[in-house]
A and B are shown apart, each in its own frame.
Chain A
């Protein structure tokens, strides 16, 4: 608990807030540059203002969904670090999985404040940052040549103009290919390993088939799956795509709340 106090200290807010502020400044610079360039290129300013308004309103609900993710992680990692991670190249499902794997690698049984040590925290923090840098790395070393190639006249001759490249990418995203199937399979493998470990720990925690483990983790996972099912059911029935912004974080929070009550009886 003393560590959690340090993880929520002003120093942590300063470190994480400083990086977030820099990212906000970068967004402003890019936005202002694009607006000015658009004006000089003769793009209707009314159109650009509509883009800004539409994007701002579009982002509020998913932003609240991401905030729920910060709340979900704050109990074990403090508030500033999840705030940074979910503001800069973050995604809730990614952060939690990587934090769990790093915690396991340093010997934590669960990702919780009661077990957290300073070394475990810095290890988790580094792994969370390191595992997700690949988009940035590729943009630094290959972004210019990739985009230039997509827009080059020779590419156009080969039928790879930016427009066609983009259409190909969109078609690729729509058309089922093994790449899509493999990505889904990878996540099925990942989720299955963890769910199976919860069942395994109920059955064989104190030795093969001794049935001495707590069923709480599995029960929480089941509640979360049911909540997710409900979210997706409502989304599909009411054609409310905005529910997607809350489905993962919402399911997690419902299951975490259920854990408080189930923990008393299990």
Chain B
């Protein structure tokens, strides 16, 4: 099989499989809806998408543009189907490429990236399946009322960890945005119930402040040269 024929076949299979997974994934909530006798609330889906979905639309496009040249055809189809790109698939593919000393842009790289991501995805699926299997007997414990405060606070737990991770990258911008948003919620408490919608002005403010800081930094760097 020559490389061209292989790539052509990869695109054909990749598109077919991606379409199938995409359709199944979007259908799953409706199938579950039939089982639970409750369909998704579409106005709420649209509202949710407009608040946080936009962020992931932008990051999805950026990820696509940056990572596809690194992963090649087969690797990209698999990586976008299985996810966990930045924290797992990209470092895994780069690590595999470095280990065998493959040069980028070669047919070898296409094969290595695909093998690496296919293996990584299978191992993850296996680890999760085994973990979930072991969790089944633990269900009564996980559902016990004593543990409910833990599960009710999963979101603050996430945002605390993320705050540390992102705030230290841009301390001044973080401090200003957090202070302004806190004042807004304190003075207009009715907004607390619509926090996800408040992500839009908060994000816009953070981007605007970061732009000013970025321009200043670039100007200072230019002057230093």
Contact = CB atoms under 8 A, between A and B. Distances in A.
B219 to A, nearest CB: 13
Interface size on B, as a range, is 35 or more
Interface in B172-219: 173-174, 177-178, 181-182, 184-189, 191-196, 198-199, 202-207, 209-211, 213-214
Contacts, number: 626
A147 B76 contact: yes
16 contacts: A3-B36, A30-B10, A30-B13, A30-B114, A83-B129, A84-B28, A123-B29, A132-B83, A134-B60, A139-B80, A162-B69, A178-B214, A186-B59, A194-B156, A200-B184, A251-B157
B58 interface: yes
B202 A110 contact: no
Contact of A86 (B3, B11, B21, B128): B128
A132 B30 CA distance: 17
A43 B154 CA distance: 47
B99 to A, nearest CB: 5
B175 to A, nearest CB: 9
Interface in A79-125: 79-81, 83-84, 86-94, 96-102, 104-106, 110-114, 117-123, 125
Interface string B98-141: 01101111111011101111111111111111011001100100
A48 interface: yes
A131 B25 contact: no
A76 B112 CA distance: 39
A104 B195 contact: yes
What is the interface of chain B mostly: helix, strand, loop, or mixed?
helix
What is the interface of chain A mostly: helix, strand, loop, or mixed?
helix
B146 A196 contact: no
B145 to A, nearest CB: 9
B152 A112 contact: yes
A89 B32 CA distance: 19
A256 B203 contact: no
Contacts of A244: 87
Contacts of B182: 196, 199-200
A225 interface: yes
Given A38-B111, A83-B128, A229 B66 contact: no
Contacts of B193: 104
Contacts of A120: 41
B203 A189 contact: yes
B32 to A, nearest CB: 6
A114 to B, nearest CB: 7
A130 B24 contact: no
Interface in B142-170: 142-143, 146-167, 169-170
B9 to A, nearest CB: 7
Given A189-B177, A189-B199, A245-B87, A58 B36 contact: no
